[in-house]
Each structure stands twice: as C-alpha cells, then as structure tokens.
Amino acid sequence: MKRLLVAGVMVASVFAGSGPVLAEPVDDTLEIDGMPIITRTKAPEGHPFDEVLSGWLFREAETRDVERETIENPGMIAVEDGETMWNTVEGTEGKSCASCHNDAAETMKGVGARFPKWDADSKKPINIELQINKCRTEQMGAEALAFNKGGQQELTAYIKHQSLGMPVELDLTEGDMQSWWEKGKDVYYTRTGQLNLACASCHETAMGKFIRADHLSQGQVNGFPTYRLKSGLTSLHQRFRGCIRDTRAEQPKAFSDDLMALETYVTWRGTGLSVETPSVRQ
Amino acid sequence: MTRRMKFTLGAMAAFALSTAAMASEVAPEAVEFTDDGVVASLTGTAGDPVAGAEAFKNRKDGNCLACHANSDMSGELFHGDVGPSLDGVASRWDEAQLRAIVTNSKKIFTDETIMPGFYSLDVGEHLAEAFVGKTILTAQQVEDVVAYLGTLKD
C-alpha cells in the first residue's frame, strides 16, 4: 500500500503546484535609517540550508516597511525604556549599568551579535538576560529579574540594539559551547507534543510554506526581542515556549538547559544575519 | 469479502480489543492498518459529512486548513499549503485509504511526514498533561471527516 500511496502523493503534488505562488521569501533589501541590514547570506558550513534568511523576508510589505525607520518602529519605545534602566541606580552598591559600562553605544556594540557565549563561572552558555542578572546580583547588589519581568526585555532590547546591523557570529570554541550546540540541535529535531512536530518540521521542512495565515520562515533569532504587531514586545524564550506550546507539549522553563542549548544552536543557524533588534513581525 | 463483512468483522475484533468506554469504538492502538488502508469503520456509525466539514475546518479539532487548501471551503479564511490541496482527493484515494491517512498518516506516508496522526497515541515528547491519553479527533470525528473527504471528487 505504501508504494501506491506514494504514487498518489506525487500526483497530488502536481496539483499542489498550481496552488499559491506567493510562498517564496520576497526579493527585497532592508536598510534601517540608511544602514544596510543583511537579511540573506550564505549559510555556514554544515548548515541544512544554502542560504540563511531573516524572518523579515517572509513578512508582508506593510510589516516590512515598519522596520525601515527606527522612528516608525514601535519596538523602539522598549529600547528607550531600556536606556532609562541602563542609567538607573539599583541595589545596595548604588550602581547602575552605566556606572561600570559607561556609554552603551560604545561598550555594548557587538555584544548582541556574539551572545550567547560561554560563562566559565556557571559552566554554561549565558545570554543577555542572564548576563544582566549576573551583573545585578554580583555587581549591583540588586535582585535578579524574573523572566520577562522588571524591564528584562526592554534592557535586553536596548543592549542588543547597540549591535544593529552587525552580523551574528558565535564563538563555539569557547568552553563547552560545542556540546551545548549539539544538545540544542537535538532539541531542534525532537518532535514534541500531540501534534508531533519538531522545530525543523515547520522551519526547515515546511519553510516558505503557509501554515494557515502564517508564512513559515526559518525561525531565525537575529531580531529578538522582537516587536509583534499583534502582541507587542516578545522575548526569545517566550517565542520558543509559544512554538513548543503550539505542538501541545509542556513548555520548558525560560533559561532552562534545553532552551539555553536551543538558543545557542538556533543563533548559530542565523550566522551572518544582521542583528535587527527590535525587529518587527506580525 | 465484501466491504460490509470486513467492516462488521473489524468492528467486532475492535470490540474485543477495546477497553474504551465506548463499546463499539476501536481504541487508537487497536486500529488495524491493512494493505488496503483502514478498512473497518472506527465506530460502526456512518460518518456525517456535514459534521466532518466542521471538524475539518475548526481550529480546535482537525484544523486541516492549517496545512491544506480546499476549494470547497473557499469561504473560509487562510488555507495553508504545507500539504497538497485536497481538491478532488476522493478521486485519488478510496475510503479505507482516507481513513488510514487521517487516523495516522505516518503509517501510510513515512515517519517523516509533518501531518499529525489524528487518532493515534503515538505522539511527540513532553506531551502536555491536558492531552495525555487523548487523540486530536475522536473516532466518530475521524469517520465524519472521512465522509466529508469522500465528497471532494474531481
């Protein structure tokens, strides 16, 4: 029966060929306030795709246009709030981020393109959110921020925005980054939930197709925290958790080992794309 | 053997195997896949194509439009194209084959297929508690959807 059915599927795909032709990422280029943004680039060695594509190329023209001028980008409000936090003294040491790091435009430039990176203290990869918490608890005498609370997303957006336009490039040679990359790859290809889908089902196998109203992108992370027109500022682990929930699986905790491994691996999958934070998506 | 006889025997076998509360319903793990597909009805109650159309499009049930375009439902917004268009699908597959595809497409296509098994407990990791032991569609909804698909002829 299998063979017979496969023949049927081939017939069917001939029919499907006459379907919507819109299913390609657009041929368009992005400049933000005149700065060129890499939204399409050759994939690194060992990548499943030949080309790495920003999610921006999969969005409607109106959504794409909102990202071209920072003045139009509603995510910039969060970046401004993050800047205020950067300069706000908190904790028992009487310090702000700026007390140690001065002008973020200089000291944080490039940081958003290199994280997550190896943290020798915890012997794990660390992302911007966890680095903020590390500085708060170890340098400022302030409490760690809970996931998505207390301005965590805004401050992360501000820090990553300092790398706008810079290509993402991880150093996987530090510490055990390579084994976390492997672990993240496992998570990426593991089917979860009642719908039995992996990240790769939607963002690799079905990339470029429509799932209901959504044009499936490569699921790149270069624009996070991102501004979603329908729900506002969205952090990366919130997006991961949402995609996993949609498979009808239990959601892993934010910053859990599984999601840190996933962040490491998926960030690598976007090697060479410009940081777009705060990107604008549907 | 006629289809009806197979159907009756299948339903009886299922009755013997099934521990489900619904006496005449074939439990997901007891569905018999043969070379012809899933020949026996999962419930013994004829599918209702109108209820099937509802389960087909409803986002909380089949949500088949997430992945399949279907001209018969051109009034519905947003048809996906992850899978092939289902126009004329009943001219390509017979009832037993369609029942097999909807029940657990992985048994029919390959393990790699993206299409979920709608009446199968063979699911992914970390299943959310709310869905443990539950199938996406009920046995009767599968019969209804299959009846609906049967109306999609060229």
Q: Which two tokens stand for residue A97?
A: 């981020």
CB contact under 8 A, A210 and B78: yes
Catalytic residue flag (residue A243): yes
Tens digit of each residue's pLDDT (9 = 90 or more) over B78-88: 999 999 999 99
Check whether residue A67 and residue A175 sit in a common domain: yes
- On whether ipTM exceeds 0.85, the answer is yes
Q: Is the pLDDT of residue B72 over 70?
A: yes
Check whether residue A95 and residue A218 sit in a common domain: no
CB contact under 8 A, B124 and A23: no
Burial of A102 from C-beta contacts in 10 A (0-12 / 13-18 / 19+): exposed
Tens digit of each residue's pLDDT (9 = 90 or more) over A136-186: 999 999 999 999 999 999 999 999 999 999 999 999 999 999 999 999 999
Mutate to test the interface with A, among B64, B73, B82 (most CBs of A within 10 A): B82
Phi and psi at A127, nearest 5°, equal -105, 180
Q: Which two tokens stand for residue A173?
A: 């040679």
Phi and psi at A167, nearest 5°, equal -70, 140
DSSP, collapsed to helix, strand or coil, labels residue A37 as strand
Q: Which two tokens stand for residue A151?
A: 């301005």
The last residue of one of the domains, among A161, A192, A217, is A161
Rounded CA Rg of chain B: 15
Check whether residue A202 and residue A118 sit in a common domain: no
Q: What is the dihedral of CA A46, A49, A52, A56, to 10 degrees?
A: -150
DSSP, collapsed to helix, strand or coil, labels residue A18 as coil
Identity of the residue in B67, B128, B134 whose CB atom sits nearest the CB atom of A211: B67
pLDDT, mean over chain B: 89
The last residue of one of the domains, among A105, A136, A161, is A161
Return the amino acid letter for A235.
S
Domain coverage including residue A90: 76-161
Closest CA to A262 of A206, A198, A204, A183: A183
The dihedral of CA A46, A47, A48, A51: what is its sign? negative
Per DSSP, A175 falls in state: T
- Please tell me the predicted confidence (pLDDT) of residue B16: 46
Check whether residue A87 and residue A144 sit in a common domain: yes
Check whether residue A61 and residue A144 sit in a common domain: no
Check whether residue A92 and residue A36 sit in a common domain: no
CATH number for the domain spanning A88: value is: 1.10.760.10
Helix residue ranges, H only, B1-138 = 3-17, 49-57, 89-92, 95-104
The whole-number average pLDDT for the span B8-18 is 47
Residue segments in chain A with a per-residue pLDDT below the cut of 70: 1-23
- Please tell me the predicted confidence (pLDDT) of residue B22: 54
The last residue of one of the domains, among A141, A161, A181, is A161
Q: Is the pLDDT of residue B17 over 60?
A: no
Domain total of chain A: 2
B10: closest CA of chain A, how far (Å): 19
Predicted model pTM: 0.90
- Please tell me the predicted confidence (pLDDT) of residue A53: 98
Q: Is the pLDDT of residue B123 over 90?
A: yes
Check whether residue A87 and residue A209 sit in a common domain: no
Check whether residue A250 and residue A139 sit in a common domain: no
Residue B84: other Cβ atoms inside 10 A: 22
**Chain A (182-241) residues lying within 8 Å, Cβ to Cβ, of chain B:** 190-198, 201-202, 205-206, 209-213, 216
DSSP, collapsed to helix, strand or coil, labels residue A34 as coil
Check whether residue A116 and residue A241 sit in a common domain: no
Check whether residue A138 and residue A43 sit in a common domain: no
In this complex, is the C-beta atom of B35 within 8 Å of any C-beta atom belonging to chain A? yes
A90 contact partners, CB below 8 Å, separation of at least 6:
A96, A136, A140, A142
Sorting pLDDT into bands at 50, 70 and 90, what band is B4? very low
Check whether residue A119 and residue A41 sit in a common domain: no
Q: Which two tokens stand for residue B135?
A: 């199938």
- Please tell me the predicted confidence (pLDDT) of residue B23: 56
How far, in Å, CA of B65 to CA of B59, rounded?
Answer: 8
Check whether residue A154 and residue A173 sit in a common domain: no
B2 contact partners, CB below 8 Å, separation of at least 6:
none
